[in-house]
Structure 1
Amino acid sequence: MTRRQQDGSLQPPVLISLTAYGADLARRDGQAALGRIAAAAGADGVEYRGELQRGHKDEVREQRAVAEHHGLSVVWSSPEGLWSETGSLDLAALDRAFTTALALGAGSVKMSLGGYREGAALEGLLPWLRHGGIELVVENDQTASAGTVPPLRDFFARATALGKTVPMTFDMGNWHWTGEDPLDAAQAFAAQVGYVHCKGVLRTPARWVAVPLDQSAAPWRSVLRRLPAGVARAIEFPLQGEDLVQVTRKHVELLRSVEIPA
């Protein structure tokens, strides 16, 4: 899916994480409808979100049909962590995630570490790293146990020691919520990154908030340039306006404009 320009630079695929349209719209119209908006705007794929499912009988079938009709790649985002709060590998959560991903025709399942504890045994996770032809990708979230450098570094190092490569979903915005520097994190994890969540951030008096990249106070272009060329990028910031196709297209084109030298 990566595009190569005439000058040899790369344009990675751009996906839309459907949280970008807001929970209210997703629950009113359904994620299949939002997938059509993403396709009309020229996105290469969609990230369907478990927390936004409405539980309708034919929901997953409709979502798969939209993706296949428009030629969209699919990532399934599970809201559950790989490890439970007690520190045990959550095999039931893995089974739920991969069952849904298989029904969707997804290429990847995205999960966070959850209640992972440094030094945890990974052998039970190994059969799930690529299960049913679907790849597991691990995201840094907004928690201390699954969104800071030490546990993530420990996890990836332990996987490497077992001879396994686990792709990382690098969420450039989440580092601000956990007090980490995204540029330092990009340097630390660049070799692991297989997917990037792109969001701008602003600091309000009370908290960090997600904003479009062109409104961000953070150096998002510099972060992207520290990450591997050709890796898929997902929009995960608010997409709002009367013409959502046009709004989405604008931001898809912005992300594509940050070319990475060959």
Structure 2
Amino acid sequence: KLGIWNIEVRREYFSDDLREMEALNCAKLGKRLTLFYSVPDVIFKSGQINPKLLQYFAEASLFGASYVKLNVGEFDGYRGNLGQELGTSVPKSIQLNVENDQTKLSGSAEKIVIFLGAAKKADLNIGFVNDLGNWIFTKQDTVSSSKILLPYTRYIHLKNYTIENQQTKTVPIDDGKLDWKKLLDN
């Protein structure tokens, strides 16, 4: 009734009870809702595909999510067949995206673009979600990082920050240091 059709569902706020996910799927039925599933975990652990990926995609399917968002993780040591291993883990009905987080491991523009380039070469349809406010945590320039990842960017997560007493703090979008309107124009 509010005219909202796209909703991000965050895994960390679900209980371990699958009934919440089933109820969400029932609520979605008959409506034009598009659900995005944000999972605070990585695709790669110690250079291997995260064994929990199948669980995450099963959960997303259970409540009818069209998109799953994860972080890259430790792709550096991966030596497997990316197209085969990751390609068989991601259902065709779900689009996988990766996001820059606030860690050096999964928030490095250079590491993310290496993974996305390898995914493209393996003919995998994986995109990027640019969290503008997270670049400060990894001490990277927001503009140059955004430009490097632009060819893979599917959508932008807007947030802002300030620095108080040498601590970074997330704040309302118009109250922070980022000129997000200028960034969107680039």
Both proteins in one fold, TM over 0.5: yes
Aligned-residue CA RMSD in angstroms?
A: 2.0
201-210 or 119-128, which deviates more: 119-128
Alpha-carbon separation, structure 1, partners of 2:30 and 2:175: 33
- Whether the 8 Å contact between 1:81 and 1:93 is mirrored in structure 2 is no
1:84-233 paired onto structure 2 within 5 Å: 84=45, 86-90=46-50, 92-117=51-76, 120-121=79-80, 122-123=82-83, 124-128=85-89, 130-226=90-186
Alpha-carbon separation, structure 1, partners of 2:33 and 2:125: 25
- Describe the shift of the 1:165–1:69 C-alpha distance in structure 2 as closer, same or farther (beyond 3 A): closer
* Deviation (angstroms), 1:69: 5.5
Q: In the alignment, which residue of structure 1 is the partner of 2:33?
A: 72
Q: How many residues align?
A: 184
Q: In the alignment, which residue of structure 2 is the partner of 1:45?
A: 6
Alpha-carbon separation, structure 2, partners of 1:225 and 1:96: 38
Alpha-carbon separation, structure 1, partners of 2:176 and 2:5: 24
Unaligned residue ranges in structure 2 (runs of 5+): none
Q: In the alignment, which residue of structure 2 is the partner of 1:61?
A: 22
Larger strand fraction of residues = 2
Percent pairwise identity: 24
Q: Which amino acid aligns with 2:14?
A: Q
- Describe the shift of the 1:108–1:57 C-alpha distance in structure 2 as closer, same or farther (beyond 3 A): closer
- Whether the 8 Å contact between 2:95 and 2:125 is mirrored in structure 1 is no
TM-score, scaled relative to structure 2: 0.88
Matched, 1:81 2:81: no
Instruction: Name the structure, 1 or 2, with higher relative contact order (CA <8 Å, separation 6+).
Output: 1
Alpha-carbon separation, structure 2, partners of 1:163 and 1:56: 35
Q: Which amino acid aligns with 1:60?
A: M
